Structures are given as structure tokens and as C-alpha cells.
Amino acid sequence: MRKKIEECNTGIAGLGLMGGAVARALREKCDVPQDRLFACDRDSKTLNTARQEGLICKGFDASGAGEMLALCDIVFLCLNPSAALRFLEQWKDSFKSGCLVTDVAGTKESIAAAAQKLCEYRKSDNIDFIPGHPMAGAEKSGFENSRLCNFSGKNYILTPISHNKTENTEFLKNIIRSMGFSRVTEVSPAEHDRKIAFTSQLCHVIAAALIDCESDVKITRFGGGSFEDLTRIAMLNAPMWTELFIENRISLFERIAQFEKSLDELKALIGGSEFAKLEEKLAIIRDRRMEMSAD
Amino acid sequence: MRKKIEECNTGIAGLGLMGGAVARALREKCDVPQDRLFACDRDSKTLNTARQEGLICKGFDASGAGEMLALCDIVFLCLNPSAALRFLEQWKDSFKSGCLVTDVAGTKESIAAAAQKLCEYRKSDNIDFIPGHPMAGAEKSGFENSRLCNFSGKNYILTPISHNKTENTEFLKNIIRSMGFSRVTEVSPAEHDRKIAFTSQLCHVIAAALIDCESDVKITRFGGGSFEDLTRIAMLNAPMWTELFIENRISLFERIAQFEKSLDELKALIGGSEFAKLEEKLAIIRDRRMEMSAD
């Protein structure tokens, strides 16, 4: 039987936007005391700020990650996908026996494979790694903007691997709900990546393309909210989204192709002045979107 | 010299989402008394509700529009583009001498031509028609949702025609600012239609295509806000957007082509695993979008 989260030492690897938001939620929503919360980050200023704000008791620089891991019963990897993979390879011997690890990366197949590998490598130490994805980002990045991530009412996806123990998954789900998320969905890593290619990556590619094709920054004088809503996420974390787009490109390209097909169908109706057919199609689309809101 | 708006009889033709919102703003923000506000609509229930809510003093059915127009110093045409054109043709003789007319349609070239025609036809009666476009819609339609249109801080576009008198344009701009809009921009009808094809119609086509290409309404379980933000406007007023898309299809198709070109460029970088070039492009896009927010 695991201790309660507030009795565990918890470590956060990477104190950026999401790492900072997780730290805040653990402190403010899960009642984790400051002296139970640790973080490692390459930026010592961020670590100092987090300590001064009462979030963490001790910060470790990149080379001190092993020292932090030796203390922690729970570890949140809050790194870009490639950095998370490198971290796991570099520090695989440093995780504490019985440690529960999770991550927040926006693509899951490669991290799930690495999680499975770590669990097998450290099987005798009873280490468990449950890959996850909190669906609660923000347009800005970095620890200094971590208050912008609002977890309340948001979705959290877990992509358990065969190694995961039910008690650990239940334990993590309780933490997630305590942090404020309203729905925890479990799917396979592959299913996650296919779904997210649509709801997240396709949307970011579209927003980016919309901004790319208009160089007049004063165009917003002709905006009524639609353009602003569709392009807010174009204020993206460029290195992270570069990784997410390229890593999940097979699923993403399938989704782009589906989107282009739908766009072509609408173009055909508009170009052909097909008033009745276009109105019928738009009514179906409106009803479907309203049904989505109700779910 | 015109009377103050609160001393004018004002008529609203079409008490739907925007007509209702204009009526509320005139009553609540511009201090227009109930006994100065009139409306005509094909739906008698809507007219009764608006009267009971204290918005208007008298409602006229579609056949009574002429009776209303005979009373009104100011008229807001709050109809779909095609209905506005039919209304102008049918009631061109009924506008009161000296009347100031404006409209709210989302495309402006055809209505501006009709406005010019009306002004010339009723020149001796000193009628002026200034075409306009309040950039403040909502995902829902109809009078019953008119409270969802929030004018505060929004853009309003005017597309004056050669006939318009400066004093009338200034008078209308004062009303618009009193209603809560923060920025009134004047451009030609053609320029309006080119700009709006991008900020409004392209965005609605994209949102519609996104919903069209995914039939699983439970996909929102994998949403983190991006998908919801990009598709909220897919809950569109199907008859109105059918007209707007088809009427402005030439500008819209140019914008779709530009968007597709940008999408293709992003696809090439993603498909070719061009990490450095993609990150560089996304950073430029992010900066441009941030500059747009600052305008």
C-alpha cells in the first residue's frame, strides 16, 4: 500500500510551463508540503524562484538529477519528448526503489516504449512508469507563465503499459483528480497519438499556417473573435511543437489529409454556388459540434 | 444638425441575434427610451418578447415594415445579405425623409451597391445609407441568444460609399462607440470583403472542415482547449454562412489558396524531419501572432 501523496517525496524534472503548473497544483490542491517537493532544472534562477515562492524545498541542476531521484517516491518528467528520453537513458540507475514515474509529453509511443524498457531494467526495484498527458497547456511557455495552466475541468490522458500495476494507476489517477482535472481517460499510446494528432497537432498546424499566410499584423483590426480564437495557439513553444509535429508525423499527415478532403468538399459547394447543399452540410456540422459540446 | 440618438425614432429590421443585440445596446448603453425603439420581424413571438422585455415599444410584422420605416429617423438593417437586398428593393419608397440607414451584413460589396442605389433614388429626400459590419457575433443564433453578443472592446467596420455625408458618418460612429465597440475602421467595401475573407470566412470554413472530418463526437475527451477554440465557430448559422461564403467566394478562394500554400510548406518541413527549419519557421509565426495581440 502506497503512502498518501502528501507523505511522499515528489520530484519534478523540468520546471517549465507544465512542471511549474504541476508543482503549483501539488502544493495548492494536493496539500503536498514544501519540504516534500523537489525539482531539477537547467536554469538555477527558476529553481531559486520556485523555492522562494514556497513551491519546492530544494532545487537540483541538470547534473544533480540523480541526487534528486534518489530521494523521490514519485517523479513527474516535465520535459520535451526528446529531453525526456535522454533523461531516462542518463538516469535510469538513479530512480529510487519503488518509485512511481510519470511524464507529460504530448506524444506517447516513444516515451511508452522507454517506460516499458525502464520498468523491465529496474524490475527487481519495483519501479513503475505510467505515461501521461495533461491536456492543459497555455500559449506561453516557461515557469514564469505556469500560473496560466488551469487544470480545472480539463482532460488528462493516461497511456498505461503492460508493466503498470493497477494500484499505481489508481494512485496516480487520484493525484490527477486532486490536481483539478475532471476526466482521466486511459488509452493505448498508439491510440493517444492518433487522437491527439487531430485534437492537438492538426489544430496547431492549422493555426500556424493561418498566421504564416498573412503578414499584416494589423489584420486583427478586422477580427471579431474567430481569427483570434483560431490562432491563439500559434503562440506556440517552437522547439516543443517541432518535436511533437515531427515525432507524430504519420498520424498527423493522415489527419491533415482528412482535413484537406473536407476542405475540398466545402470548396466545391462554395465554388459551385450550391446554396441548398452547402446549407445542409453546414447544418450537419453545426449539430455535430453542438453534440461535442454536450459530451 | 441631427438630433441626439435618444431623441430619434430608431427602427430595427430583423430582430435576430444581431438585431436583438443592437436593440439591447441602444436601450442599455445609448439611453434610447423604449418609446423611441421599433422593430420589424417575421416572427411575432420575438416581437412580443422584445416588447415585454422593455426593448421596443412596437413591433411590426414583415408586411408592416413600411409602416415602421415611415416613423424612423435611423434604421438598422439586421438581416442576412440576401434578405437585406430584398428588403431595400421592396421598401425603397418607405424610408422617411432624412433617414440614416445602416446594416450589419458580413459581406459589403453588394449591399454597398444597393446603398448607393437607394441614396441616388431617394436623393431629394436626403436619405443616407452607410454600410457597416459589427465584428461581434456569437456561436448561437436568434433573438433568444442576443445577450451572447458582447460589443465591449470589439471592432466595427464601416464601408462608406461616395454618397455618405461626413456628419452622418460621424453621427453613426458616435452611436457605435456608445454601444461599446472600441474601434471603428473605415475601408472600402471591396477592401472589407478581402480582409473579412481571411479573418472571418476562412476561419469559419476551416472550423467547419475540422468538424466535418471527424465523426466521433466523443473526440473532445482528447481535447485540451485548442480543438474547442478552433471549432467553436463551427456552431454557425447555416443559412447566413452559406450566403456569406458563396457571395464572397472569389476573395475567400484566394485566402484558402494562401492558407493551403502555408499548410503545404509546413507539411514539407514536418515530412522531411527538418527540425531546425521548422523550429525557425514556428518561432517566426509565434512572434508574428504575439505582435498581432499587441496591436
Cβ separation of A282 and B218 shorter than 8 Å?
no
Please give the pLDDT value at position A3.
82
Q: Considering only alpha carbons, which residue of chain A is nearest residue B136?
A: A224
Average pLDDT over residues B140-159: 95
Nearest to B222 by CA among A276, A156, A77, A1: A156
Other residues' Cβ atoms within 10 Å of the Cβ of residue B123: 10
Please give the pLDDT value at position B110.
96
The model's pTM: 0.94
So what's the architecture of A192-294 in CATH? Orthogonal Bundle (1.10)
Write the single-letter amino acid at A3: K
CA–CA separation, A18 vs A37, rounded Å?
15
Cβ separation of A249 and B270 shorter than 8 Å?
yes
Closest residue to A262, CB basis, from B155, B212, B286: B212
Radius of gyration of chain B measured on its C-alpha atoms = 21
Q: What single string gives the DSSP state of each residue in B229-270?
A: HHHGGGS--HHHHHHHHHHTHHHHHHHHHHHHHHHHHHHHHH
Nearest to B208 by CA among A227, A199, A284, A273: A284
Could you tell me which residues come within 8 angstroms of residue A195 by beta carbon, excluding any fewer than 6 positions away?
A187, B219, B222
Q: What is the pLDDT along chain A (295 residues), one digit of tens a residue?
A: 578 999 999 999 999 999 999 999 999 999 999 999 999 999 999 999 999 999 999 999 999 999 999 999 999 999 999 999 999 999 999 999 999 999 999 999 999 999 999 999 999 999 999 999 999 988 889 999 999 999 999 999 999 999 999 999 999 999 999 999 999 999 999 999 999 999 999 999 999 999 999 999 999 999 999 999 999 999 999 999 999 999 999 999 999 999 999 999 999 999 999 999 999 999 999 999 999 987 7
pLDDT one-digit tens code per residue, B179-208: 999 999 999 999 999 999 999 999 999 999
Question: Do A139 and B226 touch, CB atoms closer than 8 A?
Answer: no
Tell me the three state secondary structure of residue B75: strand
Tell me the pairing of strands A183-186 and B10-13. unpaired
CATH number of this structure's domain A5-186: 3.40.50.720
C-alpha grid cell for residue A151?
487544470
Question: Do A80 and A239 touch, CB atoms closer than 8 A?
Answer: yes
Mutate to test the interface with A, among B246, B264, B280 (most CBs of A within 10 A): B246
Residue boundaries of the structural domains of chain B: 5-187, 192-294
Tell me the pairing of strands B183-186 and B155-158. parallel
CA–CA separation, A262 vs A190, rounded Å?
24
Question: Do A285 and B239 touch, CB atoms closer than 8 A?
Answer: no
Cβ separation of A199 and B262 shorter than 8 Å?
no
Could you tell me which residues come within 8 angstroms of residue A281 by beta carbon, excluding any fewer than 6 positions away?
A265, A266, A269, B208, B212
Write the single-letter amino acid at B8: C
B257 and chain A: CB distance < 8 Å anywhere?
Answer: no
C-alpha grid cell for residue A212?
504564416
Question: Do A107 and A132 touch, CB atoms closer than 8 A?
Answer: no
Q: What is the ipTM of this complex?
A: 0.94
In CATH, B5-187 is 3.30.450.20: no
pLDDT level of residue B293 (50, 70, 90 thresholds): confident
Q: What is the DSSP letter of A201?
A: I
Cβ separation of A222 and B185 shorter than 8 Å?
yes
Region for B270 from its dihedrals, namely left if φ exceeds 0, alpha if ψ lies in -120 to 50, beta otherwise = alpha
Please give the pLDDT value at position B1.
56
Phi, psi of A216 (to 5 degrees): -80, 105
pLDDT level of residue B3 (50, 70, 90 thresholds): confident
Phi, psi of A12 (to 5 degrees): -115, 120
Residues 18-57 of A with CB under 8 A from B: none
